[in-house]
Amino acid sequence: MLSDEHGTLAIRGDWTLADYQALKQQIEAYSDRHWESEHIDLEDLGRVDTAGASLLATLLGPECLVALTSENDILPREQSALLYAVADAMREKPVPEPDAPALVVQFLNETGKKVEAVWDLSRILIGFMGQIIATFFAVLPKPKRWRVTPFVAAIQDTGLNALPIVALLTFLVGAVVAFLGATVLRDFGATIYTINLVAFSFLREFGVLLAAILLAGRTASAFTAQIGAMKVNEELDAIRTLGLDPVELLVLPRVLAMMVSLPILTFVGMISGLLGGALVCIIALDISPAQFMAVVGREIGLTHFLVGFSKAPVFAFLIATIGCLEGFKVGGSAQSVGVHTTSSVVQSIFMVILLDAIAALFFMQMGW
């Protein structure tokens, strides 16, 4: 019960869940008044439960009830502790807002995370390369352990089946480069140097680079999907249970096949690019095929061909290694297969372009 006696609010009787509705109606009559702790009389307060304590906190205000229970020694200790706990829980406590990091700090934080992720990826990739090389030299003196059939099948898949698309793409790019060269050099009366531009670019860069990028998108993703599906189906566990090495059985034939296929595709890409450039020179610049071949043979040295061709085995080893490694990193779901397949393509293309840029700077400094 509530009663207002000479400005002092007397709280009497039991404040429990059984009397909740009646007490709530009484509280509404005093909702527009503000009470101080010295004007509250709790001497005749009976039993109190959590529901009643919440009504008292609503009536007096959580801050007033907290102060009242802290100052008043009339109430039993258990009752005072209950009122204090409920009032303290109902107090509006401002939630501290976390300090927003400065843009520079946030940028450095994200950059550090990316650098750490790249370092971990590089460390795992180098370790996997070492494992492949160690397996190769362990198998090399033991012909009975050579996986000839998977090796030949992988050459057909990575080389023969990719031959048409590599030839077509490099042919079209060769024609585009010749068109661009002719457009620029015509203003200087030097259209004959379009031949040098096409030959130089395809023998040193475009032949191997386009073939490697195509294989990175076509073959590295296939390696990841194949090995990843085997891991999802627990076939890799079965291989290990049989006492076989998955690197020797699955990775080595694919890596060796790529190192055979990419040089062949690089050579095809070089020839196709030269043919595309020659076609444009014949049609648009009135340069005969004999004149085109004479300029190539006279002014384009063998060094340019060797520089471009020497990159092919390195790119092939890197692409196949990344594709197989991402396959082994696949988790137990189809979504993981898709994620790591995408990752293998992105990593392979990035690494190919990065190494090609480093090689170009190196060969330029060496004067080759």
pLDDT tens digit string along 165-210?
Answer: 999 999 999 999 998 888 888 877 788 888 888 888 898 888 899 9
> What pLDDT, in 10s, does the model give residues 113-128?
889 988 888 899 899 8
pLDDT of residue 173: 93
- Residue 137 inside a domain? The answer is no
User: Are 84 and 153 in the same domain?
Assistant: no
C-alpha to C-alpha distance for 207 and 309, rounded to whole angstroms: 9
Give yes or no: residues 78 and 149 share one domain.
no
Q: Is the pLDDT of residue 55 over 70?
A: yes
The verdict on 21 and 166 lying in the same domain is no
- Is it the case that residue 144 has pLDDT exceeding 70? yes
Q: Is residue 95 scored above 60 in pLDDT?
A: no
Measured in degrees and rounded to the nearest 5, phi and psi for residue 236 equal -65, -40
Please, are residues 273 and 174 in contact by the beta-carbon 8 Å criterion? yes
Q: Is the pLDDT of residue 266 over 90?
A: yes
69 shares its domain with 154: no
Domain end, chosen from 55, 90, 125, is at 90
% of the chain surpassing 70 pLDDT: 89
Cβ contacts of 205 within 8 Å, gap of 6 or more: 308, 356, 360
pTM of the full structure:
0.67
Q: Quick one: pLDDT at residue 134?
A: 92
CB 94 within 8 A of CB 112: no
Q: Residues 23, 163: one domain?
A: no
Of 44, 38, 51, nearest to 75 (Cα)?
Answer: 44
DSSP assignment of 69-137 equals HHH--SS-HHHHHHHHHHHHHHS-PPPPPPPPPPHHHHHHHHHHHHHHHHHHHHHHHHHHHHHHHHHHH
Greater model confidence, 99 or 353: 353
CB 320 within 8 A of CB 223: yes
pLDDT in tens, 14-46: 777 777 777 777 777 666 666 666 567 676 677
Pair 71, 191 in one domain: no
pLDDT exceeds cutoff 70 at 101: no
When divided into structural domains, the chain yields a total of: 2
Beta-carbon count within 10 A of 305 CB: 18
- Average pLDDT value for residue range 265-283: 91
Average pLDDT over residues 279-306: 85
Using an 8 Å Cβ cutoff, are 26 and 1 in contact? yes
Mean pLDDT across the stretch 90-104?
A: 63
Residues 212 and 344 in one domain: yes
Res. 99 pLDDT band, cuts 50 70 90:
low
Give the pLDDT score at 73.
64
Distance, CA of 22 to CA of 12 (rounded, Å): 13
Tokens describing residue 338: 């898709």
Confidence label for 262 from pLDDT (cuts 50, 70 and 90): very high
CA 357 to chain centre: 23
114 in a structural domain: no
* Residue 14, SS3 per DSSP: strand
Q: Are 145 and 248 in contact (CB under 8 A)?
A: yes
Residues 69-95, mean pLDDT to the nearest whole number: 70
The residue assigned the tokens 């450095």 is 108
- Is there a single domain that holds both residue 240 and residue 171? yes
Of 90, 111, 127, the residue at which a domain comes to its end is 90
Mean pLDDT of the chain: 83
pLDDT, average across residues 135-161: 88
| Inside any domain, residue 309 | yes
Residues 289 and 353 in one domain: yes
Q: Is the pLDDT of residue 74 over 90?
A: no
Say what the pLDDT of residue 160 is. 87
Q: Which domain holds residue 32?
A: 2-90
Contact 247, 327 (CB under 8 A): no
Query: Which position has the higher pLDDT, 3 or 322?
Result: 322
Q: Distance (Å, rounded) from C-alpha 176 to C-alpha 189?
A: 19
Closest CA to 310 of 266, 273, 274, 367: 266
What is the separation of C-alpha 117 from the centre of its chain, rounded to a whole number of angstroms? 10
Q: Of the residues 90, 116, 136, which one is the last residue of a structural domain?
A: 90
User: What pLDDT band is residue 80 in, cutting at 50, 70 and 90?
Assistant: confident
* Same domain (yes/no): 79, 176: no
The SS3 call for residue 146 is coil
Task: Say if residue 162 is in the same domain as residue 274.
Answer: yes
In a domain, 121, yes or no: no
251: tokens are 């990775």
Give the mean pLDDT of 272-294.
Answer: 87
Q: Identify whether residues 178 and 284 lie together within a single domain.
A: yes
- The per-residue pLDDT for range 231-257, each reduced to its tens digit, is 888 888 888 888 888 888 889 999 999
